[in-house]
Amino acid sequence: MLAAAADRGASDGELIGARSGLRPAADLVWHYLDHSDQPWLLVLDNADDPSVLRDGGWLRTSPCGVVIVTTRQSAARWWPGADLLHFGVLPRADAAQVLHDLAPHAGPIEDAAEVADRLGRLPLALTLAGGFLAHQVIAPWTLSDYRHKLENTHSFATIELIDQGAWRDGDESRHLVSRTWQLSLDSLNTGGLPEAAPLLRLLTCLSSDPLPISILADAEVGADLPACRVESALRGLLDHSLTELVPGNLRCLRTHSVLLDSVARATPAGQREALAQAGVRLLMALLPDSHEHLAPKSDPTTLAPHVLALLRRTLDWEASESAVASATECTWRLVDLLDGIGDYASALAAATEATALIQDRLATDHQQVLRLRQRAGRAVYRLGQFAEAEVLNRQVLDDCERTFGPEALDTLTSCLGLALPLWQLSREPEALSLIQRAAVGRARVLGPLHPLTLLARTYILEVAPERDLEEEACIGYELVSECQEALGSASSITLTAELNQADLLRRAGRFGDALPLARKNVVSNQNHYGAEHPITLAARTQLSVILAEAGNFDEAIKHAELAAEGRARVLGPSHPWTRNSQERLHQYRQSRDGPQS
């Protein structure tokens, strides 16, 4: 700063006086800056300790120039009167240009953009990658080669790859993605927030996608991070730009993926198991064990990337089998909830990815592996791939019978999983036999009024043979009443019982009884699931069928149109249930309008 004063005209005597303490050095500097005959720009780079600038009044404004301070300390309290500009990752085009400028011979700008995406467009990572590509001597890589390495390298080795682009001179901490964050943690520790380090390590168990802040409400990692210190630790991470708040209706955090991998790589081996288990506890608290009778405490779609990230990190850290099994159970609950909200494609994707991840750590007959496979089979069925669903669910049933025995609850769940595609494939007797087996077995183990027993019994109504319709209709009324008493009228299982009972009454020709129940069921499902949930659309389809068979084609067409359009949007135009709705709509219009000449 005294050099800046000299540049603006301060004499040697004035500078010597300032250095010796005869006059305030900052006052001398700003006197000459304020009286400069030319405009100036003063950059104070890497001001990671704002107290240095505050003591002595070194940081001031001036009518003659502009002061820019770069810092990790983003809290407004450190910079009164300043305009705060928060810089995150670069826009895609700019990130690609950085790589292309540093390594112009490594490939086209399109390849640079793909590498930039893989690096999360983080400026330091882009600089290091560009430097590495620009200075290779023996066998230079292209941008395409570098991207391939990033995509096919363990996350910890990726950090080492990025850091190879750094110049090895002096203090490297500020110039390596593997170390730069430690400067901020050291500052937080010195400032009385040692809990910031275990909180950041806990965040490495989760994804770089937006993380609902509410997840951290009960976060703790033993004595190193008690729950009462999470708030202050999080404020410290935010103030030091180690994580950031994401604007939006749902309050979320976002932490860069390169930072998460770097911190995870440096996490001491002795702390990894406890961190993984803490991550499991956080997510388990938001993921109920069954969507059939409990609602999730958070949107499963926002939790999905974090659940899968937890599983990957647990495997990366080579945690114990019990930790891997717990993380896998988190994924199983996630898949179950995604199925419950009607997002069958996401449910299948999550189950498939998780099964592939754990295949080398958990045995093929491990309970959590088999449960994931059950959910994958159900998702395939919901997506309308009935023949494939039969194959998958039959394999899982065989494996469950061999592993757990024919009467185990997991085996009985697989019976239901196989029954549904068989029913769609018009193999009703085999489907009914499996459903009855599940219902009887669950009643024996769990009791006749357990939610899972009642659920199995609702399926019997759906596939009841024509010869037993009247008898089953009477049983159906009893089942609906039992569901209402045991679970409440708004339970998803009660709604399923009413849906299947209405269809059973229709098949029995009792339209007067079926129609009011079907109308009520559409409204109830819409209130419970939403207007475009597949189950609501199924209820509306059923109502249209009852109306059409009762001769009310105008109203039947109205509901059939809503069902066909909704299924096309939600399930896709080629889904069997979508095509079924479209065919019914065409038939109803023909029946109403008569044959066209």
Quick one: three-class SS letters along 391-425? HHHHHHHHHHHHHHCCCCHHHHHHHHHHHHHHHHC
244: CB partners within 8 A, 6+ apart: 86, 88, 238, 253, 254, 255
Residue 351 has pLDDT above 90, yes or no: yes
Say what percent of the chain tops pLDDT 90: 71
Residue 328 has pLDDT above 80, yes or no: yes
* Predicted confidence band of residue 297 (pLDDT cuts 50, 70, 90): low
* Predicted confidence band of residue 293 (pLDDT cuts 50, 70, 90): very low
* pTM beyond cutoff 0.85: yes
* Predicted confidence band of residue 169 (pLDDT cuts 50, 70, 90): low
Residues in the chain: 597
Mean pLDDT across the stretch 467-491? Answer: 88
CB 582, CB 564: distance < 8 Å: yes
* Predicted confidence band of residue 248 (pLDDT cuts 50, 70, 90): confident
For residue 96, give Cα distances in angstroms to 107, 158, 205, 476.
Answer: 11, 19, 29, 64
Q: Which pLDDT belongs to residue 594?
A: 74
Mean pLDDT across the stretch 115-120? Answer: 94
296 vs 492: CA distance, rounded Å: 13
> Which is it for the CA torsion 98, 104, 107, 108, positive or negative?
positive
What does the pLDDT look like over 396-450, one tens digit per residue?
999 999 999 999 999 999 999 999 999 999 999 999 999 999 999 999 999 999 9
Residue 529 has pLDDT above 60, yes or no: yes
360: CB partners within 8 A, 6+ apart: none
Q: Which pLDDT belongs to residue 444?
A: 96
CB 374, CB 401: distance < 8 Å: no
Q: Which pLDDT belongs to residue 249?
A: 84
Give the residue from 169, 108, 99 showing the smallest Cα distance to 132: 99
Mean pLDDT across the stretch 552-577? Answer: 95
169 vs 153: CA distance, rounded Å: 27
Mean pLDDT across the stretch 191-199? Answer: 92
Mean pLDDT rounded to a whole number for the chain:
91
What does the pLDDT look like over 36-57, one tens digit per residue?
999 999 999 888 888 888 776 8
What does the pLDDT look like over 535-562, one tens digit per residue?
999 999 999 999 999 999 999 999 999 9
Which superfamily does CATH assign the domain made up of 478-597 to?
Tetratricopeptide repeat domain (1.25.40.10)
Q: Which pLDDT belongs to residue 294?
A: 46
* Predicted confidence band of residue 596 (pLDDT cuts 50, 70, 90): low
Domain-wise residue ranges, the chain: 2-78, 92-175, 478-597
* Predicted confidence band of residue 595 (pLDDT cuts 50, 70, 90): low
Q: Which pLDDT belongs to residue 298?
A: 64
Residue 168 has pLDDT above 70, yes or no: no
What does the pLDDT look like over 127-139, one tens digit per residue?
999 999 998 888 8
For residue 452, give Cα distances in angstroms to 412, 413, 435, 447, 484.
Answer: 10, 9, 12, 9, 14
Residue 583 has pLDDT above 60, yes or no: yes
Residue 173 has pLDDT above 70, yes or no: no
Residue 597 has pLDDT above 50, yes or no: no
Whole-number CA gyration radius for the chain: 32
31 vs 35: CA distance, rounded Å: 6
